[in-house]
Structure 1
Amino acid sequence: MPGRILIVEDEREMRAMVEKGLQRRGFQPVAVAAADEALQKLAAEDFDTVLTDLRMPGMDGLALCERIVLNRPDIPVVVVTAFGSLETAVAAIRAGAYDFITKPIDLDALVLVLERAVQHRALRAEVRRLRQALDQRQDDGALVGESPALKQAYALIDRVADVDATVLITGESGTGKEVAARALHARGRRKEGPFVAINCAAMPEQLLESELFGHAKGAFTDAKASRTGLFVKAHGGTLFLDEVGELPMTLQPKLLRALQERVVRPVGGDTETPFDARIVAATNRDLELAVEENRFREDLYYRLNVIGLELPPLRARGNDVLLLSQRFVEQFASRTGKKVVGLSPAAAQRLLAYGWPGNVRELQNCIERAVALTSFEQLTVDDLPERIRNYSTPRVVPENTDPSELVTLEELERRYIHRVLEAVGGSRTLAARILGVDRKTLYRKLERGDTEAREAREVKKP
């Protein structure tokens, strides 16, 4: 299992001999002459294993090993020494070394040790990835539920999981868009590949460009070494572009070209690198409105929205609120060691009545707080946040309204549509989103309502 090996050896001939020997065996060795150089390399690049001499001027191999264990515990260190005593071996292991080997170096023995070290790192990374994936499913639980709205999202995920078409996941903040993206990855043919995620709103433009596409050495002031971008790192798997609606306009043409041509050019680079990754994007923004307002490229929108997956808000999922609440109660009770088994009927009623503007994320936070505060085996109303305890649904028709002032449902709908349009500055795209209908339906309702109002005025004319 060849890998990338950092060789630290002060003797030039020995360094060259080991480097050439490992190259012949399929490894990718990088050799330096001192511990300080090795630390600089490790800060800028990734390696599968470090092979270091014990006796070197300045910082010795044991000290270097301790520094690596402290700062990069994921990288195993193999120590080479000419002093094969028990004391030396014990000292190396105490310093955190994965293994040690003595001089004169037997290349076959060295290759075996390095292969085990590289495999050890790969296995640790896989265990960590699986644990994170399990934690993600347990912590978010956003796709737990039996509501028709969620089942519809489930069904679409199952239908498109195995295809490579780009998916655009939309929905309010906290509805579980990354959970849905991970479900698409886990159920598809690329599940053995990496799942690479980036939040497009979380970093400045230059850094975001470098993260996505990579950069060449010297491309900018701090580019002391070349860097592989996330498109290439996601090769064979899935790249998740979260908050893609926040992508700066200047980067949108480069993203569009990458999606069309399936190649990327690093910042400051001259050559293009192909990639094979499925692209899943997500946003809580109205991208159609952003296109209308010239804040998002129309061609990029259609390239991203090959398959659209809209996640329902929690308020539209009915009793899923209680299913999720029970899931979170069990989760947080287990973490805290408290004997909490569920919800009281009164607490459940308040949770169902609340509007959940923060969706599943807000519910999770609410239950975590309640489990921490409760003194009982069931969560009570008093354990819930004040905003949920005191929440009340606004009245559609105020009390003591004169019956003569009431209007038909059609007229009420027409007035409400126009009120929403006024509130959003006339944007029909945004109004349709707020009203929960598509734009064609909104246009049809507006046309019908205006026609009916005009006909009513004609009837009233003397």
Structure 2
Amino acid sequence: MSPRILIADDDPVQRRLLEAQVQRFGYVTETVDNGAAALARVKAQGQAQGQGHGHAPLDLLILDLAMPDIDGLGVLKTLRKEGYRVPAIVQTANGSIETVIAAMRAGAADFVVKPVGTERLQVSIKNALRADALEDEIRRMNRHAAGALSFKDLIAGSEAMERVIRLGERAAKSTIPILLEGESGVGKEVIARAIQGLSDRRGKPFITVNCGALPEPLVESILFGHEKGAFTGANERHVGKFVEANGGTLFLDEIGELPLETQVKLLRALQEGEVDPIGAKRPVKVDIRLISATNRNLIEQVKRGRFREDLYYRLNVFPIHVPALRARREDITELARTFATRFAAEEGKPLRGLTPETEALLCAYDWPGNVRQLENAVFRAVVLADGDELTVTEFPQIAAHVHGFDICVPPAPLPVALQPARETEFVPVELRDPHVLRLLDDEGEILPLERLEAEIIRFSLIHYRGQMSAMARKLGIGRSTLYRKLKEYGLQQGAEGDPLGLSDPMAGLLNRAGAAA
């Protein structure tokens, strides 16, 4: 889902022009003609979120400072005072230092002067969205560490996940045992943490046990504890996971992997509210909220005699099925953006997001490993990225499995560079290895610098997939110089502002390169 931007400007002509610009960047827009309407829209969004329906959430505001009744500064001050967290870019015809300082103190993320250039506006929007996403991720991590994660912190805009959230919110209000069902990697533990964050056990211990990773001889000791000297190697007392979770929540992941002998003791612990540590003289009372999870069909396990039927019915009181990522494709883009923001911060990379084609690729893939696979794929892409956006090039394994997105990456041979459309044509130099540049012509003579420069620029067009900012930065020249050389070497086609002649900044270039090959 593309970010939604609200534009507030009392000038109808400026408002329409700005709306057209923002829509060309690929964002969803809404417009209002005064500050009061902007405030009402933001407040309506907050009320709708509390009720679970209503207006789609806004990701960014673009405010004109000079508006009747409530101006842009008034909107910013009101939003800050009432606790609404929506990043805002302000624009005005007055670019004085005093005006800029006042806007920033009021909480603006950036300041632009009318008429704002297309590139300046796009960079400002990307930076504001990136900074807001990073702040959201930091707040989410803090709540996760404090045991206060809630369903509002989850990225779950799809209808399938809305049902999960509705069930989770109802279950959180009681102590009923919950069984989370779903494929591995769909986020069952995150759902469990959100349930605790909404319950009266918020902030209390949340203990996770992966039952499939427990050594069978130590399962009972790990879960229920043991006394010192209870068996060989028991050199000190161990309280066990049940006691660790006392007063909070115990999350038993992959519960279908528990041995049958342990299942008997688990059933007794749930029924009696107490555990028997190995070697203890008396049972220990525990007060826990149990949430179990499985990626198996437990009723089939019961039929095969691998899971106790009485324990199954004890656990399966309130089942919640968490859908696979391929069943909630609406969430993929936002998840990928969130992961990219976090990993870019961790890796110290100035990434602003993903290209539209990359988002289309990720949404087209089936993700058999679900959210965990997506997270790892984005992490790898961030490490590989050289530009300020993640492109299809950074997801070669994913692109190879999606029709229409297959790409060639080094060390595979690259396509022949574009033929220059000039009266004085250059002989194209084919780069069979990106680390080797041909210096001699067919007669054994040194190639002129002009031809070498043209070839380097052609190669960079393909390598950076038409991203002008990345090309100029890596080539060590200004953007104006790059545009001039593109025109000079016959690589500039199409209307002004679209140097490659592409509505998609990659497709035409690569198709032409492929045709030349």
- State the TM-score bracket (shorter-chain normalisation): 0.5 to 0.7
Deviation for aligned residue 1:307: 0.6
Partner of residue 252, structure 1: 263
Counterpart of 1:242 (choices 241, 253, 259) is 253
Structure 1: distance between partners of 2:333 and 2:226: 48
Structure 2: distance between partners of 1:137 and 1:383: 35
Structure 2: distance between partners of 1:169 and 1:392: 34
1:277 corresponds to 2:292 = no
Counterpart of 1:370 (choices 381, 384, 408) is 381
Alignment map for 1:127-142 (pairs within 5 Å):
131=142, 133-134=144-145
Partner of residue 312, structure 1: 323
1:303 corresponds to 2:304 = no
The structure-2 alpha-carbon separation of the partners of 1:217 and 1:134, relative to structure 1 and needing over 3 Å to count, comes to closer
1:350 corresponds to 2:361 = yes
Deviation for aligned residue 1:347: 1.3
Structure 1: distance between partners of 2:146 and 2:285: 33
Alignment map for 1:8-47 (pairs within 5 Å):
none
The structure-2 alpha-carbon separation of the partners of 1:296 and 1:175, relative to structure 1 and needing over 3 Å to count, comes to same
Partner of residue 191, structure 1: 202
Alignment map for 1:46-445 (pairs within 5 Å):
131=142, 133-134=144-145, 143-392=154-403
Deviation for aligned residue 1:134: 4.4
Deviation for aligned residue 1:235: 1.2
Q: How many residues align?
A: 263
The structure-2 alpha-carbon separation of the partners of 1:343 and 1:136, relative to structure 1 and needing over 3 Å to count, comes to farther
8 Å CA contact retained: 1:195, 1:239? yes
Deviation for aligned residue 1:384: 0.5
The structure-2 alpha-carbon separation of the partners of 1:293 and 1:153, relative to structure 1 and needing over 3 Å to count, comes to same
8 Å CA contact retained: 1:263, 1:274? yes
For residue 238 of structure 1, what is the amino acid of its counterpart?
Answer: T
Deviation for aligned residue 1:349: 1.4
8 Å CA contact retained: 1:249, 1:296? yes
Deviation for aligned residue 1:131: 4.7
Structure 2: distance between partners of 1:295 and 1:163: 30
For residue 251 of structure 1, what is the amino acid of its counterpart?
Answer: T
For residue 146 of structure 1, what is the amino acid of its counterpart?
Answer: G
8 Å CA contact retained: 2:192, 2:291? yes
The structure-2 alpha-carbon separation of the partners of 1:136 and 1:284, relative to structure 1 and needing over 3 Å to count, comes to farther
- The one-character-per-residue Cα deviations of 1:334-387 (angstroms, maximum 9, x if unpaired) are 122212112212211111110000000100111111111122222111110324
Structure 1: distance between partners of 2:148 and 2:216: 31
Structure 2: distance between partners of 1:137 and 1:314: 25
8 Å CA contact retained: 1:382, 1:389? no
For residue 275 of structure 1, what is the amino acid of its counterpart?
Answer: V
Higher helix share: 1
Question: CA-atom RMSD, angstroms?
Answer: 2.3
Q: Which runs of 4+ in 1 moved over 3 A?
A: 134-138, 387-390
8 Å CA contact retained: 2:147, 2:193? no
- The one-character-per-residue Cα deviations of 1:271-329 (angstroms, maximum 9, x if unpaired) are 11111111111111111110111100111011011111111100011221001111111
The structure-2 alpha-carbon separation of the partners of 1:295 and 1:383, relative to structure 1 and needing over 3 Å to count, comes to same
For residue 360 of structure 2, what is the amino acid of its counterpart?
Answer: Q
Structure 1: distance between partners of 2:313 and 2:403: 41
Deviation for aligned residue 1:142: 9.3
Report % sequence identity. 46
Other structure's SS at 1:173 match: coil
Structure 2: distance between partners of 1:136 and 1:189: 11
Deviation for aligned residue 1:135: 9.7
8 Å CA contact retained: 1:137, 1:179? no
Structure 1: distance between partners of 2:205 and 2:145: 15
Structure 1: distance between partners of 2:146 and 2:205: 17
The structure-2 alpha-carbon separation of the partners of 1:314 and 1:391, relative to structure 1 and needing over 3 Å to count, comes to same
Question: Under a length normalisation based on structure 1, what TM-score does the superposition of the two structures give?
Answer: 0.54
- The one-character-per-residue Cα deviations of 1:242-292 (angstroms, maximum 9, x if unpaired) are 111100111111001111111111112231111111111111111111011
Other structure's SS at 2:268 match: helix
Deviation for aligned residue 1:228: 1.1
For residue 390 of structure 1, what is the amino acid of its counterpart?
Answer: H
Structure 1: distance between partners of 2:266 and 2:239: 16
Structure 1: distance between partners of 2:301 and 2:281: 33
8 Å CA contact retained: 2:209, 2:253? yes
8 Å CA contact retained: 2:182, 2:322? yes
8 Å CA contact retained: 2:367, 2:373? yes
Q: Which runs of 5+ in 2 are unaligned?
A: 1-140, 405-517
Structure 2: distance between partners of 1:136 and 1:349: 35
Other structure's SS at 1:357 match: coil
Q: Which runs of 5+ in 1 are unaligned?
A: 1-129, 394-462
Other structure's SS at 1:192 match: coil
Other structure's SS at 1:201 match: helix
8 Å CA contact retained: 1:238, 1:279? yes
